[in-house]
Each structure stands twice: as C-alpha cells, then as structure tokens.
Amino acid sequence: MDTPRPASTDATAAPDAHTPPVPLEGSCHCGAVRLRLPHLPEQATRCNCSLCRRLNGLWAYYPLGTVQIEGHPEHTTDYIWGDKTLRNIRCIHCGCVTHWEPLAPEPGARHGVNLNNFDPQVAAGVRVRRFDGAETWTFLD
C-alpha cells in the first residue's frame, strides 16, 4: 500500500519529467505549525524594517486564506507593533516566525509567508526583492 517510491524516478508527479516537484509544504522547526502554499512563489521580499531585519524573514505574499495553515492559532502567538495593521505569528514551542496576517482584513487582503520555513528549493527559485521598509517604503532594486 504505502510503498516508498523514489521521487526522482516518478515522472508522473512532476510537470517536467527530469525535475522532481518542489515541495509546497513547510513548517516551523518543531513541526507544530504547518503551511501549504497554493503554488510556488515567483517573488519574495526581504525588508529592512526594524522587525524584519531582526527576523531575517523572506516574505512571499498570497491572497488571504489561500495558504493552508495547521496548528494556528493553537500553537502560535503573535506580535503586533507600529501602526498595528499586521500580526506577526510564531510558534510558541520553537519560536520560528511562520507568517503574518492583517489584523482587519479588507477585500483583496494578503498575508505573508516566511519562506525560510520551506525547503530551500522554494527560496532558490524566487526573485528576491529588497524592500526599504525602514525609510522610503519603496523597493531598492
């Protein structure tokens, strides 16, 4: 039934028969908070604001509700600062910051997912843009 199959030889699972699929599932370090992306991101943001530079988060944005998240809020706590529009969410057990979400979601709202909780192949495939959240609120590249 559950016979292990080597992913690299399973051509049917990959859109390109030569490349195994990049896993869309990620988790915090201890696994209490698990996330599944609706699709791979094309772009991610590194921000230099006072919080992001400490967290070293690599943020990919998705429409709110499209990322499946397990273990939240039962295994999470949050941090709210500044203009109090977002909550930064981390695992209460291992401390890893997994995502942020808007406090008062409006139509079209997004949430940010920290790609550092995913297989390194996910981050390797994205264009990383540098956002100047510290001062100008513009992209630096």
CB of 94 to Zn ion, least distance (A): 3
CA 129 to each of CA 101, 138, 140: distance values in angstroms, whole numbers, following the listed order? 20, 10, 8
| Nearest one of 126, 105, 107, 108 to 60, comparing CA atoms | 126
DSSP string for residues in 47-94:
E-STTHHHHT--EEEEETT-SEEESTTTTEEEE--TTS-EEEEEETTT
The tokens of 54 are what?
Answer: 């400490």
Q: How many residues are listed for the chain in this entry?
A: 141
Give yes or no for residue 32 binding Zn ion (CB under 5 A).
yes
Q: Which stretch binds Zn ion (CB under 5 A): 2-10, 31-39, 49-57, 124-132?
A: 31-39
Decide whether 2 or 74 has the Cβ nearer to Zn ion: 74
Give yes or no for residue 28 binding Zn ion (CB under 5 A).
yes
Give yes or no for residue 126 binding Zn ion (CB under 5 A).
no
CB 57 within 8 A of CB 97: yes
Give yes or no for residue 92 binding Zn ion (CB under 5 A).
no
Of positions 35, 44, 67, 91, contacts Zn ion by CB under 5 A: 91
Decide whether 28 or 47 has the Cβ nearer to Zn ion: 28
Binding to Zn ion (CB under 5 A): which residues in 43-82?
none
Binding site for Zn ion (CB under 5 A): 28, 30, 32, 91, 93-94
